[in-house]
Structure 1
Amino acid sequence: MKTVAVAFLWHLHQPYYTDPLTRTAPFPWVRLHATKGYFDMAVLLEEHPEMHAAVNITPSLLLQLQEQERGDVRDVFWSHAVCPAADLSADQRAFILRHFFAANWDTMVRPHERYYSLLIQRGRQIQDGDAERLTARFSAQDFLDLQVWHNLAWFGHRAVARYPALRQLISKGRQFTEDEKHEVLALQHEVLGQLVPLFKRLANRGQIELSTTPFFHPILPLLINTDFARRSRPESPVPSGFVHPEDARMQLRMAIEFHTSVFGQRPVGVWPSEGAVCPELVPMLAELGIRWAATDEGILAASVKEWNRTRSRVPLPRSGALGRHRIYLCPE
């Protein structure tokens, strides 16, 4: 029987939401995904040391994890959650009704009787302006329970298993107190703070390989030359004459340096933003010490004329004076 080698590459990414002027973020996804899928993934790997994987953590996500762990940045959803329910303004109540059911209803709302009943009380489908009118249906206790459930439901299975307080609150289900709400938010912060050290430990013991991505998630071929878009899509309306390979190189260098400062190990793998690659990118990666990059079969087929789908990986040689060193572009 033949042995099949399977490589698991997990891509953890959030765009850089932080407003540099207000030091706030408009969305909660860094905080909420950190306490759910990201933490679950790290803990499951820790619990199963025989399982190996490559984990791509983008610099834009890492930077925001640091900002939020230090308390330098808060997202507006957190600001609405931390406010005492009895003191919520009309605008804040409307915001909560519009946005605090932002979760998978089948797996994260419906299983919790109180959370689901609040959704039904609001209505599954609401139009613009409905939230302001619907706030009259909700008491201060309703809003407090909704503040708690929106954050409680986003904890992943491993966090719930690790923290008895979360299980107790899930079991209680309703009539939460302000102290209990602050306990939920404090546990969110605790889980968020554990995430990077946990992935670092997994990398240090050789169980995972950590890779990086261009710092602010640019599409590298378009930074190098916007005309490259016409290679696979000749009809593409792109600005002509935007040629800045130095920007692409800077985004990669910033990512590598930041990754190294956080994890203590220099990455040798890259997930190019959205898997976007072009032949001109290969020597740039090689010059920076990158040995492999992951992309998509369709993208690779459109980017490399000699693409052969029967091969499990396509090695592209470094060009010219860079000699025989090879970069491996690994299709999904």
Structure 2
Amino acid sequence: MPLHVAFLWHMHQPCYIDPASGVALLPWTRLHATLNYLHMAEVLWAYPKIQAVVNLVPSLTDQLRAYARGDLTDRLLLLATQDRWSGEEVNYLRSLCFHAPRRFIEQHPRYQELWAAPQQGDAWGEGDTRDLLVWFHLAWTDAGWLEREESLRRLIHKERGFSRGDLADLLNVQARMLSRVLPLYRALEERGQVELSTSPYYHPILPLLVNTTSAHEASPGLPLPRLPLRVVKDAAEQVRRAVVQHEEHFGRPPRGLWPSEGAVSQEALAGIAGQVKWIASDEAILA
């Protein structure tokens, strides 16, 4: 009898948005989209016989849509539009912009040179900061786009001495990439190749919302608050909001749900029942 295996790809980024400023404090939603999320969808589109389940978490899809509409920016993106940077801003950029695949840094002498500069005590100028911004964003761009886009090939060949216009060209390409992510996943599902699932809206651990004492089922003796928390309706509302949001993005409600961290309990299942057709969890959790 054949074994049927479903691959579930879980894509999750937390909400990085500062509620006071409306600016994302960290750029990882944007950068994972240009390096990974779009690439995954394009590979699937190129191989229509390959099927998959892709779990897109509400906090991720809300931010992707906001970026695509131009309604969201992040601290790094704002700094990238400046002509000059304060010492504090340069230190921030130098602490952030080497969070890139090490092999990519090593493949490009200018990026490697910038990486080594602090250790060697080299002087650092405005041109170095802009070069660092360009190389960091190139590192977080899908290799296929680096090969196809003439403007990106030109930047890699130029290597150093980038202008403000060079950086703007790169960010414009990334903006185009961001705008394609959600529509392409929707098209994959409409083609019948991919099933899109969701997770509870704010990514809570559902069993703990339903009853904090459920933690003792997995970890007997675990210290817990003296007064147990039981917000059963809130747990069900987390699922309801996720289903509504998913339908807004993709035109149909999800059939499946990946509970945050795969956490389930009998009580939590009662709040999920009737809202989706299936859930998935982890073998160790279910044991």
Calculate the TM-score normalised by the size of structure 2. 0.95
Q: 2:265 corresponds to which residue?
A: 278
Structure 1 or 2: larger strand share?
Answer: 1
SS of the aligned residue for 1:7 comes to coil
Deviations 1:138-165 (A, max 9, x none): 1221111101111111001232244222
Deviations 1:20-61 (A, max 9, x none): 220011111001000001111000001111110000000000
Q: CA contact under 8 A between 1:40 and 1:159: conserved in structure 2?
A: no
- Structure 2 unaligned segments of length 5 or more: list them: none
* Distance in 1 between residues matched to 2:66 and 2:81, nearest whole Å: 18
Q: CA contact under 8 A between 2:101 and 2:139: conserved in structure 1?
A: no
Instruction: Give % identity.
Output: 40
Q: 1:101 corresponds to which residue?
A: 98
Q: 1:89 corresponds to which residue?
A: 86
What code does the residue aligned with 1:207 have?
Q
* Distance in 1 between residues matched to 2:139 and 2:218, nearest whole Å: 43
Larger of the two Rg values belongs to structure: 1
* Distance in 1 between residues matched to 2:217 and 2:282, nearest whole Å: 16
Are 2:70 and 1:71 aligned? yes
1:121 to 117, 124, 128: 117
The correspondence of residues 51-200 of structure 1 with structure 2, limited to 5 A, is 51-84=50-83, 87-105=84-102, 107-123=103-119, 137-200=123-186
* Distance in 1 between residues matched to 2:210 and 2:250, nearest whole Å: 28
Distance apart, 1:266 and its partner CA: 0.9
Q: CA contact under 8 A between 1:223 and 1:243: conserved in structure 2?
A: yes
Q: What do you get for the CA RMSD once the two structures are aligned?
A: 1.5
* Distance in 1 between residues matched to 2:172 and 2:43, nearest whole Å: 22
Distance apart, 1:72 and its partner CA: 2.2
Q: CA contact under 8 A between 1:276 and 1:299: conserved in structure 2?
A: yes
Question: Which has the higher mean CA deviation after the structures are superposed, 113-122 or 71-80?
Answer: 71-80
Regions of 4+ moved over 4 Å: none
What code does the residue aligned with 2:141 have?
F
What code does the residue aligned with 1:213 have?
S
- Structure 1 unaligned segments of length 5 or more: list them: 125-133, 302-332
Deviations 1:251-293 (A, max 9, x none): 10000000001100110100100111111222322221x1211
SS of the aligned residue for 2:107 comes to coil
* Distance in 2 between residues matched to 1:282 and 1:162, nearest whole Å: 47
What code does the residue aligned with 1:292 have?
W
Number of corresponding residues: 286
SS of the aligned residue for 1:55 comes to strand
* Distance in 2 between residues matched to 1:57 and 1:241, nearest whole Å: 31
Q: 1:253 corresponds to which residue?
A: 240
